[in-house]
Amino acid sequence: MLIAQLSDPHVRPAGMLYHGVADSNRMLADAIRHLQQLDRRPDLVLLTGDLVEEGRPEEYAQVRALLAALTIPWLVIPGNHDHRDNFRAAFADQCRLPAEGPLHYCDDAHPVRIVALDSCVPGRHHGHIEPDGLRWLHATLSADPHKPTLVMLHHPPFVSGIPYMDDYRYMAPEPLEAVLRAFDNIEIVLCGHVHRAMLRRWAGTVVCACPSTTTEIALQLRPDAPPQSYLGTPACMLHLWSAEHGMVSHLSAIGEFEGPYPFA
Sign of CA dihedral 192, 69, 36, 15: negative
Per-residue pLDDT band for 136 (boundaries 50, 70, 90) equals very high
Domain 2-253 has CATH 3.30.1520.10: no
- Residue 64: CB atoms within 10 A of its CB come to 14
Per-residue pLDDT band for 144 (boundaries 50, 70, 90) equals very high
pLDDT in tens, 193-244: 999 999 999 999 999 999 999 999 999 999 999 999 999 899 999 999 999 9
Average pLDDT, the chain: 97
Q: Is the peptide bond before 73 cis (omega within 30 degrees of 0)?
A: no
What is the per-residue pLDDT for 94?
81
Task: Give the residue extent of every domain in the chain.
Answer: 2-253
Could you give phi then psi for residue 61, rounded to 5 degrees?
-60, -40
